Each structure stands twice: as structure tokens, then as C-alpha cells.
A and B are shown apart, each in its own frame.
Chain A
Amino acid sequence: MTPNSHNCCGDYTRAQLLRSAAAEAGKGLPIIEPGMPEPAGTGLSRRTFLSRSAGLALAVYGASKLPLSVFEEGIAQAAPGDKVLVSVFFDGGIDSLSVLAPVGDPRYSQLRPSLALSPEAGSEFSEDPRLRWHPAAASLATLHAEGKVSAFPAIGYDHPDQSHFTSRHFYEVGELAVGFRTGWLGRYLDLVGDTENPLQGLSMDGSLSPMIATADKPVAAIDSVDGFDLWSPVSDPVRDEMYRSFARFGSLPSDSPGLAQVRRATAQTDKLRQDLGGIGEFSSPVAYPDTRFAHKLAGLAAFIAAGLPMRAVTIRAAGGYDTHSDQATDLDRNLRETCEGLLAFQRDLEARGLADRVLTEMWSEFGRRPEENGSAGTDHGAAGCAFVIGSKAQGEMVGEFPGLATLDANDNLRVTSDFRAMYCALLEQWLGQDAGPIIPGASGFVRPTLVKA
């Protein structure tokens, strides 16, 4: 992929695009890069499992040969109350120079003639007078003002790789190497996790995030927080009668294997609807925006409140951030949707008294080029942004904003913090686990303070 290509970039796997089709439909098809490394965790076997104790349909991943009923017991028995780390991924490389726009930097308006935020837009970033929050990140700014956001204005690693896939892989596995089979949170789960509780590592986007890919402990993916619903064109009492007739289609006699197959699937589908159809009907103590992303977070808060035994949860931020063209519109919409959802999530946790148990980390595979391209967009860059959010977040910036006067050899933003240092701090300060066995070279990273004492 050439750096100046304005096509949608090729490093996403198409299967993932497929799963996020509603959000991605209409986007250009990526080109597959030769020599792409395999995502971590693809060696895990996948089985589908319906947990009644958890009220969830799960795709369970694990090398274990345990029967699925064991997982059911594991979920029921695992003690709730552990700390939960939620990882939110800005897929595609979010433009950190828009999220925290350096309007006070003299080069900013030269590098971004059409995309620069106006000096009055958004709100001031109190920790660095050069920076302003993007208006679409207002919800994040609100939480920052409350001391609940630690911002990394220029996070990354040495010798940045500008392939989506490679750089994302580094972040997912917690090491600058291709071909890792386990994710950094997966290795954490391998150390402390339960052999029978797949909910301890949960991906909420229908497929397993490589971040929580384990060597042997089970982890899970769900497609929807709404469980197993059949979209209904009608409401009760007609709805109940409709389902009853649907079930009857499944129980009538058959005169051919094909008909028997339809009847069997019909009967089982209605059975599942009865068992699991209700789980999406959770209630939330606060109002959420009416978006898919916020709906997932609302479900997640309800799951935590219900005592589901989760430790690491992954979810993709709303939309895509590979803004090679028409950046202003796309970024505004997707960033707003994500930040508003996260604010509601935080308020929900606070209302439920769970805010001290949940910390959210937001990351992206890289930032974008400071100089905009010719398509009102930006190409792949180096240093990007990350945020740690929560009532227990330290709320202090980590690493300074390096300024635009001096860029790196590829004219990209210089890195002032390393993502692996962030991981070490999250593991040790939040999850209470020594990072040594999890992050290669952990002893060499200076831990920022990310969690309030």
C-alpha cells in the first residue's frame, strides 16, 4: 500500500469488514497486502455455546476439549466483583491531530489548510494550552474536566510501521513482532483466568479480537447484546400468537428430508427465542444515544451489573477512522457517536455504583500524517492518541504533545509515550498483575501512573 493511496486501505480482513457491514457498507473494498501476518488467535478452535446462566449466546474460543456444559458451570460459579478492563478500538488509525487539535501550534494551519480546526472550535484542553478538544469529542472533554480521562497525545513506538495490519497487530499482541498467536490481554487471562469461564474475555463485535486470544483459557465473542431475537413486525398479544404458529410449523409432520430439516430448524429456533429472546430487554438507569455502539455499551453495563464474570472486554468504536478522504465529515460523525456512547456508559456505571470496577482504554493502530493529502483527508502517520477513562483513572496526561515544528523522518508526529508502557501500567495498577510475564521487555518501560491510588 503506498502511503499516498486514497483508497480504503487493505489491511482489514474482509471477514471483519463483513461483520461490521452495516457500518462499513458502501466503503471501498480493501486490497489484500501480500505477506500480511496472521492475526493472533486464529489457531483457537471456535464453538458456539448458549449459556442459560449468563443469558447469552456465545461463540467460545479455546483449545480446551472441555464439554460446553462445563463452561456453563464455570460462568455460574465464577465470582463477580473483579476489575474489568474495557478496550475500545478506533479501527483504521484515528487522526489524533483532530481529536486533540494543536490549534496553538504555528504549523498546524499550514499543514492542514482545509482540515484545521478553528482556534475557537471545541473546548480547551486544560493540560496543554496548544491543544483543543474536537467538538465531536465534547463528551470526552466533559469527563476530562471531571478528572476521569488520562490522555496520551502522542503514543506509539520506535520505528513506526504504517501498515494498518502490522501496527494493529503490535498493539494487539503487546510486542513489536509479527506472528504472535496470543494477545496481551489473552496472556493475562492465561495467567489468572478460569479454565471454565469463557466470559472472562469477551469480544462484543461478533468475532474474537486478537487482543484477548489466549493459549488455552476459554474466551468468547457475542454478536449482539440483544440475544436471540426474531424481529417482530407486531406486538403482543398478536406477537405471542404469531410465534405460537411459527412453532407449530416446526412440529407438524414431514414427508421429506427437506421439509423435516425446515421443521427441525423452525422448532429449535423458536425454542431458542423463548430461552434467550428476553435478554436484550435490559434496562438502563441513564439515557443512551440511539446508536449501535451505545447500545452495546448499555448492554455491557447491564451485563456487569448482572454479575457476569468478565475481566477483559473488547469493542470497536463506532465507524471507521481510515480517513483518506472527506475526513471532516466522517470523523465528526464517528467520533461523536463513540464519545457520546462512552459518556453515557460512564454515567450508567456511576449510577449503578460500578464505576470503581471498570476502566476503559481507547486506542488506535496509529495516528495520521500531520500534512493533509489532496482529498481533504489524511494518510497513515505514526504517533497517535490513546485515552484511559474511568472514575479510577488518574486523569493526567501521559507524554507531552511533541509539537509540529519537528517531525520524524517520514514527516509524521513524533512519539512521546510507548503503548507497551501503558499496558504494563494497566496490568499492574488496574488488574493487579505483574507485567513481566505478559509484556516482553516489560522491565524496560517506565510506568505512567494511570490509576488513582
Chain B
Amino acid sequence: MAIPRTSASAAKPKRHPRRRRLYAWKDKHYRWVPDGQGDWRLQGYIVRHRHKPKRGHFRGPGKKPAGRPAAAPAVPPAVNPDPRPAGAYQGPFGVEQAVRLLNRAGFGPLPGQAEQLVSLGLVGAVQSLTRPSGAATLSGPPPVDDDGAAIAPADAWGHDHIWWLDRMVRTNQPLVERMALVFHDWFATSIEGVSKQQQMIDQSNLFRSACFGSFLDLFKAVTVDPAMLQWLNGSENRKSAPNENYAREMMELFSLGADRGAYSEDDIREQARALTGWRNDWSGEQGAYNFRFDPNRHDVKDKTVFGRTGNWGWEDACRLCVEHPLHPSFFVDKLWSYFVPQPPSAPVRDALMGIYNSSGRQIRPVLETILISPDLYQGPAMVKPPVVQLAGMLRALGRYVDTDAWTWLCEPAGQVLFRPPNVSGWDDTRWLDTSRMRARWNLVHYALDEVSVDAWGGGYSTTESAEEALDRAIASWDSPALRPEHRAELLEFSRRVEKQVVANWQRGPYRAMRQNALLQLIGVSPDTILQ
């Protein structure tokens, strides 16, 4: 009962029905970028004009900038450059290691960035990420939607997703964005239960500002964050009608973990009473607003949580959790899991817990230790979350956020920012299945939209060799290191295509298609998907 196929439609490459033509006029512009070796190189990039550009309009600089390029991104001086502390990774810190660091502690390198980090040494490189100075700088054109208009992250559907994606692409403080993503997953809140996109954005800004400091401070801020108060019913929790939702999740998911004997159902009920008192107003115009603590709604009787009795309030509730003896192990295991796929060994775990406790439960010292650990550099690869892969691809391709299609394209890949599947966040062990792999393929296809060459315009080389084709495609992806067996397969592919050329007219078009297929294959190779 198969649907009949027609040969005509099978042969014709079909434009996907969801794809729209975004811009009518595109042309190549040029800019000077650091070449990673202390000098500049000219980089071509595609600009899409909404209106037909005038002949001879400005397409980029002619003169090379004077002097050496600034580091990209600006790196503050390392406080403690190599040599490395005991327990740290002691092997070579070259481009390969720097790329892994940038992949896991950010969104992959910008052109030249890995080389910059190498020059700082391991410790200096890590500290350049964990100790950024001042506010983040976003370089490059600001994000626009499909119509070329400025995005409206607080108002337009899906623009919240591309607002954050853009920060991932353009920031000079990639670890801040990556840690905000970590805590977005850790304290997973979804717009599905929050009335305004701005409240979600505000929550992500809270993560940005508090991601390196005291975990207790972050925990307390999240507990009374308006998005969280809506999401887990914190502002409906009052002494006459306690709501246990937040009390349970703050223990199970945020600070202690389930099935460890850390707390009882009684602890949850008592904790819910400690958390009573927050409320908000509601209007059709504003949604949920005016979040505040109302003493009249707070239960002032004694509560007994984890065996400790007192007239606890919401700040005590957070403190009691982080002072619980099972909290430090939960914290270091969870933080570790975002950066290294295998759990830490017992000695490493003990060391991390020691650092956490002795620092007064600060996030940064634990994070810095994870980021210089041998397990990160010598351990196995892990699958990038979809938005991490996407942001990394855009950075490598020199593309900026110029379409809101990324929201609906990321949805089948399994990750829309501000929309985690539930309060436990995304499942990092299930990023890939056939449906999500297909979505990643399509993301790559879309990302390459303007990098692809014109197969039928007649301008492509008719003599390009298989090796030259592969080199060109790899260079377009900012020269990632490919595993040898992948490189061999791609070269084999290049040669196979060449053998398909039988007629003279096919020489150029087939080579152009080969180039486009190589670009696609690199994007869907394990080298791009893994970090």
C-alpha cells in the first residue's frame, strides 16, 4: 500500500515546505579577523539584504588593521598560570585540549580562540573562563528575525529562545552562558507554567549573575524568583493551604537527591510550612505580578526539618538543605555531570567536596577544579546538547542569529530554551534517537544555508580534486579536527562522486554538490555532535 512515487518528483530536489526564502539579495562581504597566530586574516561572510543593495556598496575593509589583533575574546591576565596544581591534568595543553575545554565550558571556539587559550596554559585558560571581568560583550550584529527586524524576546513567541542562542553565539564570556544553561537545567523552569517570557529571561539573568558565587545565595534567589514561584506554586503556598510542590523539588532535584535517605515525607510537609507566605497578584493584562512576602500568609509555628526544630522561614528552608550532610556530595556529583560523562572517582569526589565545604559552598572553586581535571581531557567524549551544537556551528561558520526558525528547528531536536520537558530538566543520556538525529541533520542543513555553493550557476571549479574539496569543506567549518576514520570516509566519498562524472557538463555541478554534501556530512559527523 505504498504511496506511488513519480520519477519526476523523485529526481528533483524538493525544497522543504516549511522553508521560506528569507532574504532576496545576498552577497559576500569581508572582514578582518584574528588568524590565531597573532596576525589578521581576511574572512568572507555572507550578508543577506532585505532590499536590493546599490551597486558598489560597501562590502568590507580594504586595509588590514594596523598592529596585532586583540585577543578574541579579551582574556584577563591569568592569576595562576602553569605550573598546575596536584591532581590537575598534567598532559599537553594544545589546541585539541583547548577545543574540548571550549566545547564543554562554552559553545566551541571562535576562529583563533583555541590558539589563544593554548598560549595561556591550562590554568590560565580555565581562569580566563571562570573569572571574567565586568559585563559580557556581545560582538557582531544583533539578532534579527526572518523579516530582518530586531527580535522581541519578551513578547514574540520563540524569540526568547533565539535571544539566548544569540548570547551563546556572540558572548565573550561563554562559560557564563554555559553555566546559566547548567542552572536552567538544574532548577528547570518552563515557560509552560510561567505567565511572561520576561520572567523567564529574568531568571536566566539571575543564573548569569550568580553562577560562580555561593550556592546558597543562588538557591535562595531561585526560591523566590517569580518564574519559580509560579512554576512550582511557591506563591500559592500559604499557611491555611500549604503546597508541597517546591518543598519536595528543592530537596529531590535541587539540593539533596531522591532515594538517598536524605529526607522523609514529614520533612517535605514541614518544609512546605517553612516556605509559606509568598504571593502574587494576577491580571489579564500583566499575568502574574507583584510577587512579595506576606507575613499574614506565613506559618509562624515551629517546624521540624531534618530533625532540626525552629520557626523556620524560606531562607532557613534553603539553608537547612545546604547544611544537610548529604548536600555536598549531591552538589559535586551534579555539577561534575555537566562536564564529564563518567562519575568522579571516590578520591576526586572527596577532594571536590572538601573544596566545596572549605570555600563556604562556593561554586567557582569546585568548577575550576573540574575544568582542570584529567577526566575532562583524557576521559570519553559526550554528546552536545542540541543548542550547544547549534551555537557552536554558528560560531564556527561565522553566522549570526538571523532567523527565528531556530526555535521550531530546535524543538524536534529535543531542546527549546526556557522549555525544559519538566522540572527535572533535560535528560542528558537521551539526546539522540532517530527523530532527534533527523532534527540535528536538518539543523545542520539550515545552518549551512548561506555557506552552500551554487551547484547550477556554472561557476564552480571543474577540476577540484577530492583532497581539495575536503580541505575546502573543513576550512568552511573553521578547521575542526576530524577523527582519521571520518576524514578517510569523507575522502572516499569525494572520490566516489568524482567517479560519477561521466558527461562534461557534470564536472562543475557535481563538484559543487560534492562540496555541499561534504559540508553537510561534517556537520552531522560525530566530530561535530560530540564534545
Q: Which residues of A contact B500 (CB under 8 A)?
A: 237-238, 241
Is the Cβ of B513 less than 8 Å from the Cβ of A259? no
A242 to chain B minimum Cβ distance, whole angstroms, is: 4
Interface set, chain A 18-73, CB cutoff 8 A to B:
18-19, 21-22, 24-29, 31-32, 34, 48, 53-55
Give Cα distance in the complex from A229 to B524, angstroms: 15
Q: Does A410 contact B (CB under 8 A)?
A: no
Q: Does B510 contact A (CB under 8 A)?
A: yes
Q: Does B18 contact A (CB under 8 A)?
A: yes
Decide yes or no: A282 and B524 within 8 Å by CB, A256-B381, A265-B433, A292-B18 being known contacts. Answer: no
Is the Cβ of B524 less than 8 Å from the Cβ of A281? no
Give Cα distance in the complex from A291 to B530, angstroms: 36
Q: Which residues of B contact A308 (CB under 8 A)?
A: 1
Decide yes or no: A231 and B195 within 8 Å by CB, A25-B158, A245-B492, A245-B521 being known contacts. Answer: no
Is the Cβ of B196 less than 8 Å from the Cβ of A29? yes
Which B residue sits closest to A252, measured CB to CB?
A: B485
Give Cα distance in the complex from A249 to B408, angstroms: 27
Quick check: which of B2-10, B40-48, B329-337 contacts chain A, the rest being far away? B2-10
Is the Cβ of A228 less than 8 Å from the Cβ of B382? no
Is the Cβ of A53 less than 8 Å from the Cβ of B1? yes
Q: Does B514 contact A (CB under 8 A)?
A: yes
Is the Cβ of B192 less than 8 Å from the Cβ of A15? yes
B245 to chain A minimum Cβ distance, whole angstroms, is: 16
Q: Does B25 contact A (CB under 8 A)?
A: no
Q: Which residues of A contact B492 (CB under 8 A)?
A: 245
Q: Which residues of B contact A261 (CB under 8 A)?
A: 383, 431-432
Q: Which residues of B contact A333 (CB under 8 A)?
A: none
Q: Which residues of B contact A445 (CB under 8 A)?
A: none
Which B residue sits closest to A292, measured CB to CB?
A: B17
Give Cα distance in the complex from A307 to B2, angstroms: 9
Give Cα distance in the complex from A10 to B434, angstroms: 34
Is the Cβ of A242 less than 8 Å from the Cβ of B520? yes
Give Cα distance in the complex from A87 to B490, angstroms: 48
Which A residue sits closest to B155, measured CB to CB?
A: A28
Quick check: which of B82-90, B126-134, B172-180, B435-443 contacts chain A, the rest being far away? B435-443
Which A residue sits closest to B192, measured CB to CB?
A: A14
B251 to chain A minimum Cβ distance, whole angstroms, is: 27
Q: Which residues of A contact B99 (CB under 8 A)?
A: none
Q: Does A233 contact B (CB under 8 A)?
A: yes
Is the Cβ of A259 less than 8 Å from the Cβ of B381? yes
Is the Cβ of B434 less than 8 Å from the Cβ of A268? yes
Is the Cβ of A262 less than 8 Å from the Cβ of B192? no
Is the Cβ of A256 less than 8 Å from the Cβ of B2? no
Decide yes or no: A238 and B497 within 8 Å by CB, A18-B416, A28-B155, A261-B383 being known contacts. Answer: yes
Is the Cβ of A258 less than 8 Å from the Cβ of B383? yes
Is the Cβ of B441 less than 8 Å from the Cβ of A25? no
Is the Cβ of A29 less than 8 Å from the Cβ of B197? yes
Q: Which residues of B contact A232 (CB under 8 A)?
A: 13, 445, 520
A51 to chain B minimum Cβ distance, whole angstroms, is: 10
Give Cα distance in the complex from A303 to B519, angstroms: 35
Q: Does A106 contact B (CB under 8 A)?
A: no
Is the Cβ of A257 less than 8 Å from the Cβ of B380? yes
A150 to chain B minimum Cβ distance, whole angstroms, is: 31
Is the Cβ of B157 less than 8 Å from the Cβ of A32? no
Which A residue sits closest to B502, measured CB to CB?
A: A237
Q: How many residues of A contact B (CB 8 A)?
A: 78
Is the Cβ of A233 less than 8 Å from the Cβ of B445? yes
Is the Cβ of B526 less than 8 Å from the Cβ of A233? no
Interface set, chain A 222-269, CB cutoff 8 A to B:
223, 226, 228-239, 241-242, 244-246, 248-249, 252-253, 255-259, 261-266, 268-269
Which A residue sits closest to B19, measured CB to CB?
A: A231
Is the Cβ of A26 less than 8 Å from the Cβ of B521? no
A226: contacting residue among B6, B17, B416, B437, CB under 8 A = B17
Q: Does A272 contact B (CB under 8 A)?
A: yes
Is the Cβ of A239 less than 8 Å from the Cβ of B489? no
Q: Does B265 contact A (CB under 8 A)?
A: no
Report which residue of B13, B407, B432, B434 has the largest number of chain A beta carbons within 10 angstroms of its beta carbon. Answer: B434
Q: Which residues of B contact A26 (CB under 8 A)?
A: 145-146, 152, 156-159, 404
Which B residue sits closest to A242, measured CB to CB?
A: B517
Give Cα distance in the complex from A237 to B496, angstroms: 10
Give Cα distance in the complex from A307 to B3, angstroms: 9
A354 to chain B minimum Cβ distance, whole angstroms, is: 14
B437 to chain A minimum Cβ distance, whole angstroms, is: 4
Is the Cβ of A258 less than 8 Å from the Cβ of B155? no
Is the Cβ of A24 less than 8 Å from the Cβ of B157? yes
Quick check: which of B106-114, B213-221, B282-290, B390-398 contacts chain A, the rest being far away? B282-290
Q: Does B355 contact A (CB under 8 A)?
A: no
Is the Cβ of A235 less than 8 Å from the Cβ of B12? yes
Q: Does B405 contact A (CB under 8 A)?
A: yes
Is the Cβ of B524 less than 8 Å from the Cβ of A295? no
Q: Does B462 contact A (CB under 8 A)?
A: no
Interface set, chain B 404-460, CB cutoff 8 A to A:
404-405, 407-408, 411-412, 416, 419, 431-438, 441-442, 445-446, 448, 452, 455
Is the Cβ of A303 less than 8 Å from the Cβ of B3? yes
A275 to chain B minimum Cβ distance, whole angstroms, is: 10
Q: Which residues of B contact A257 (CB under 8 A)?
A: 341, 380
Q: Does A178 contact B (CB under 8 A)?
A: no
Q: Does B57 contact A (CB under 8 A)?
A: no
Give Cα distance in the complex from A160 to B492, angstroms: 67
Contact with A along B68-101 (1 / 0, CB 8 A): 0000000000000000000000000000000000
Give Cα distance in the complex from A279 to B2, angstroms: 7
Q: Which residues of A contact B381 (CB under 8 A)?
A: 256, 258-259
Q: Which residues of A contact B446 (CB under 8 A)?
A: 231
Q: Which residues of B contact A263 (CB under 8 A)?
A: 526
A235: contacting residue among B11, B490, B526, CB under 8 A = B11
Q: Does B227 contact A (CB under 8 A)?
A: no
Is the Cβ of A231 less than 8 Å from the Cβ of B16? yes
Q: Does B493 contact A (CB under 8 A)?
A: yes
Is the Cβ of B437 less than 8 Å from the Cβ of A231? no
Contact with A along B476-507 (1 / 0, CB 8 A): 00000000011001101100110010000000
Give Cα distance in the complex from A261 to B381, angstroms: 11
Is the Cβ of B191 less than 8 Å from the Cβ of A29? yes
Q: Does B205 contact A (CB under 8 A)?
A: no
A184 to chain B minimum Cβ distance, whole angstroms, is: 27
Contact with B along A158-173 (1 / 0, CB 8 A): 0000000000000000
A15 to chain B minimum Cβ distance, whole angstroms, is: 7
Is the Cβ of A249 less than 8 Å from the Cβ of B517? no
Contact with B along A314-349 (1 / 0, CB 8 A): 000000000000000000000000000000000000
Interface set, chain B 320-344, CB cutoff 8 A to A:
341
A28: contacting residue among B156, B442, B516, CB under 8 A = B156
B9: contacting residue among A31, A233, A281, CB under 8 A = A281
Question: Which 7 pairs across A and B sit closest by C-beta, in order of nearness?
Answer: A21-B408, A256-B380, A265-B432, A234-B513, A242-B517, A238-B513, A233-B516
Q: Which residues of A contact B (CB under 8 A)?
A: 1-2, 5, 7-8, 14-15, 17-19, 21-22, 24-29, 31-32, 34, 48, 53-55, 76, 223, 226, 228-239, 241-242, 244-246, 248-249, 252-253, 255-259, 261-266, 268-269, 272-273, 278-279, 281-283, 290-292, 295, 302-303, 306-308
Q: A238-B510, A239-B13, A262-B530 are in contact. List 5 more A-B contacts (CB 8 A).
A: A249-B521, A252-B485, A258-B380, A268-B434, A290-B17
Q: Which residues of B contact A (CB under 8 A)?
A: 1-6, 9-13, 16-19, 145-146, 152, 155-159, 191-193, 195-197, 282, 284-285, 287, 341, 380-383, 404-405, 407-408, 411-412, 416, 419, 431-438, 441-442, 445-446, 448, 452, 455, 485-486, 489-490, 492-493, 496-497, 500, 510, 513-514, 516-517, 519-521, 524-526, 529-530
Offer 28 A-B interface pairs, CB within 8 angstroms, sorted by A: A5-B285, A27-B157, A31-B284, A32-B195, A54-B1, A230-B438, A231-B445, A233-B517, A235-B513, A237-B497, A242-B517, A245-B492, A245-B493, A245-B521, A246-B524, A249-B486, A249-B489, A249-B525, A257-B380, A258-B530, A261-B431, A262-B432, A262-B529, A265-B433, A269-B441, A291-B17, A303-B3, A306-B2
